[in-house]
Copies of this chain bind each other. A is one copy, B any other.
Amino acid sequence: MTLLQRSASGSAPASLESFPLKIGDFSGFLPNLPATCHKKAGEQVATPTDEARNVIYVTAGWAFSYRLLDDGRRQILHIHLPGNLIGLSTITRDVAAWGCEAITEFTYVPLCRDALMAQAWGRPDLALRITAEAVRGEILLRERLADVARRSARERVANFLLELYCRSQSIQVELGAGTRISIPLTQDKIADAVGLTSIHVSRTLRAFKAAGIIRYQGHDLQIVDPGNLKRISTFDDQYILWLQRPNFAEQHSGKIIRS
């Protein structure tokens, strides 16, 4: 796999072929995975009080990272799916007191930050891959911010469901076929992600169900009327596409890196 080639002298590769800027999968960089760790659903992967933090590479299961406010309020910042990198912010000094909790049975590889940085130092491909992942985090946050700050509860919930739906589709993990996925989140957590009360989330989902837009039993989400849900959410098609296939190689056709 060309990704693993060490660029000999620090010069840019001849073409993009040798550096597809695909985000969301670092397994190519971790040929011999270090010891995998494991948490049960609900356990903390990292707590807001942790001093030293590792960067975490998700190999299986879901987790979320959150920011705790003084008064106990919680804001969920990211939902992490397999292939994601958690805690890149520790590369610099990280200020926010944030934590990470397993949503499902959760498997991951903790990567020592210093070692990761040392590796990246000698491997521009890895360095840029990390940057791409950091940027991806920012794009997701940007959308969430616009969502929470400027959209109604209906729109937010619709958006959130679609986002998760699309993201989980793009990842090599068993999630059921068709328009049906398992969303192992309590409404409480959905609320903390979109900035609402769990009570209001309940009402909103209920309304969607009543309108025949979704079916949502247990943690099984079925999007019955995707068109309608998209209309409600005012979801950007481009964005959907990107969420489903975050591989930039095709789009830029060789323009990302060129000497």
| Contact surface of A with B, Cβ cutoff 8 Å | 6-7, 9-13, 21, 23, 67, 69-71, 73-75, 77, 88-89, 91-98, 113-114, 117-118, 120-124, 127-128, 130-132, 134-139, 141-146, 148-151, 194-195, 234, 236, 238-239, 241-242, 246, 248, 251-252, 255-259
Contact = CB atoms under 8 A, between A and B. Distances in A.
Nearest to A139: B89
Closest 10 CB pairs of A and B: A149-B195, A10-B122, A127-B127, A134-B134, A75-B146, A12-B121, A95-B242, A141-B141, A93-B248, A121-B124
Nearest to A65: B142
A68 to B, nearest CB: 9
A71 to B, nearest CB: 8
A89 B138 contact: yes
A69 B10 contact: no
Given A92-B23, A121-B7, A131-B130, A150 B69 contact: yes
A44 B132 CA distance: 26
A114 B255 contact: yes
B248 A96 contact: no
A122 B75 contact: no
A146 B67 contact: yes
Given A11-B121, A23-B92, A118-B258, A150 B239 contact: no
A120 B114 contact: no
Contacts of A122: 10-12, 124
B96 A139 contact: yes
Nearest to A131: B131
Given A69-B151, A145-B77, A148-B148, A137 B138 contact: yes
A185 B234 CA distance: 29
A18 to B, nearest CB: 11
Contact of A117 (B11, B88, B128): B128
